[in-house]
Structure 1
């Protein structure tokens, strides 16, 4: 993974439209094997090309939860306090095909979409793409803001 956030984001001084993180994540078949072992998700569409194509997929695809979890890691590093995340939701809009050799790159940008001063939260909109195709839709994290001084 390559992440290029500035110093940890100051959650007390966020603005709508502010970019918090930009990250790149390589996903290979090895990544899928490791995730399957850790999660217990051994669905063959995540490792067997024949089964995947028979299911109507372009080939082996990454686990949805692997994609979702990977997409938020750049934001977590940027805020330096994962306990500030109060929620995280998404829709899976496109499968992430993973080649038999090499890898595919998941590019993620996290931007402040809204700030609720009364609730002391900020909505972070994440854009996750593979080769220019959005793979997550309405990917949003809610961050708790520090109490106003």
Structure 2
């Protein structure tokens, strides 16, 4: 299984939180990352997105269909992300567009088995693979990249 965690790009500081929109810089970050992702995503990638406006805008830059899940809203526990993606036993590729600190905690849990506070930069992705070797589940960090490196 392939799990890609994509943090929404830079958003305005405003209220209510669910209505925050991307800044001009955030729009550019999202477009850069979307261009990179489109070159690397398998065509059957399942895309799951938080209902917050900034995540919807970030995901929309891909130009691909996605599913909005209330369970991915800000403040959700990291286990909700992993359950929605069916990590680690699911099939195919799942891209989750969400929020900090939940994404960082989900990445930590997927890679180390411990819910730690890891930071995912705005607009960045973490691409993690699961595999079974010698009857043991393993996680492999394939890519972590932020828009400023593209």
Work out whether the TM-score is over 0.5. Answer: no
Pick the structure with more helix per residue.
Answer: 2
State which structure, 1 or 2, has the greater radius of gyration over its C-alpha atoms: 1
| Structure with greater strand share of residues | 1
